[in-house]
């Protein structure tokens, strides 16, 4: 299927190709997308300025590392269809009247949009998620105290953790930077990981929403083991071996069509 020849679609496709291959040449990208090398070079320059990749002579590679967090603007362009499918799957597990904590990140925003018509109470761990849900007429918002992290706009710190510990929620909808059978769920940022652990302890049920591209990626800080969440919602793009490994360790896995 041809890739739509728009800048946004090209950027999303470049990042997805790099996630699979690690590095790629300008010529290869141009041939895949049916555009000139000059167009690809301009795309790579923009993506490098955003922090998503590093250029080298004739190509580019991912800017990666266990403590490297791609900018939100980049993550919002990556695996969009998978995140929307996961968000719909998660929304189907939430009933009217429920109380829940909702993580941030691009997946958290997709889930917030899927929950807009639910009659629920939500404690968002991100100002981006809070702003999305503030447009709903049926969602009640509980905003915790805490420090706002620049760029990401996530809430963290002792005040946030204390707020979570003082409440009991029906669900915690958790997102993560990476997960693997060996290392469990991991995060790039120390303070974000601490908030996630507090949210886990404050909720009766934990639903982890994560797309398959993050499998076998390990972030800087461990959140919890694979078996900690009650449910893991993931797309159907994992191979049979990895899915079997995940199911063997998790309490319950729900696959959604990506």
The pair of three-digit structure tokens given for residue 107, joined into one six-digit string: 């997946």
For residue 70, tell me if it sits in a domain: no
109-164 pLDDT per residue, tens: 999 999 999 999 999 999 999 999 999 999 999 999 999 987 788 999 999 999 99
Give me the mean pLDDT over the 27-41 stretch: 92
Asked if residues 145 and 160 have their Cβ atoms less than 8 Å apart, the reply is yes
User: In CATH, what number is assigned to the domain containing residue 85?
Assistant: 3.40.50.1360
* DSSP states along 109-160: HHHHHHTTTS--EEEESBHHHHHHHTT-SS-EE-PPP-EEPTTT-BEESHHH
Q: Quick one: 181 and 234 in the same domain?
A: yes
Q: Quick one: 42 and 95 in the same domain?
A: no
Question: Rounded to whole angstroms, how far apart are CA atoms 15 and 31?
Answer: 16
- Res 10 pLDDT > 90: no
What's residue 6's pLDDT? Answer: 76
What's residue 207's pLDDT? Answer: 98
For residue 212, tell me if it sits in a domain: yes
For residue 136, tell me if it sits in a domain: yes
What's residue 67's pLDDT? Answer: 44
């Amino acid at each position: 299927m041809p890739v739509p020849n728009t800048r946004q679609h090209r950027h999303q496709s470049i990042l997805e190709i790099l996630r699979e291959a690690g590095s790629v040449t300008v010529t290869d990208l141009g041939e895949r997308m049916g555009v000139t090398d000059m167009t690809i070079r301009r795309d790579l320059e923009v993506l490098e300025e955003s922090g998503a990749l590093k250029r080298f002579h004739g190509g580019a590679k991912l800017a990666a590392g266990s403590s490297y967090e791609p900018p939100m603007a980049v993550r919002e362009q990556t695996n969009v269809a998978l995140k929307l499918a996961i968000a719909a799957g998660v929304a189907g597990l939430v009933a009217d009247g429920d109380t829940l904590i909702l993580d941030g990140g691009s997946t958290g925003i997709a889930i917030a949009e899927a929950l807009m018509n639910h009659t629920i109470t939500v404690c968002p761990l991100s100002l981006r998620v809070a702003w999305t849900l503030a447009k709903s007429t049926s969602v009640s918002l509980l905003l915790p105290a805490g420090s706002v992290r620049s760029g990401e706009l996530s809430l963290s710190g002792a005040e946030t953790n204390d707020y979570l510990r003082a409440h009991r929620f029906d669900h915690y909808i958790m997102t993560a930077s990476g997960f693997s059978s060996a290392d469990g769920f991991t995060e790039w940022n120390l303070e974000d990981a601490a908030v996630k652990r507090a949210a886990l302890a404050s909720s009766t049920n934990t639903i982890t929403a994560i797309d398959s591209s993050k499998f076998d990626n390990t972030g800087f800080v461990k959140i919890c083991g694979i078996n900690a969440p009650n449910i893991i919602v993931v797309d159907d793009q994992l191979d049979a071996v990895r899915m079997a490994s995940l199911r063997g360790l998790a309490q319950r896995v729900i696959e959604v069509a990506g």
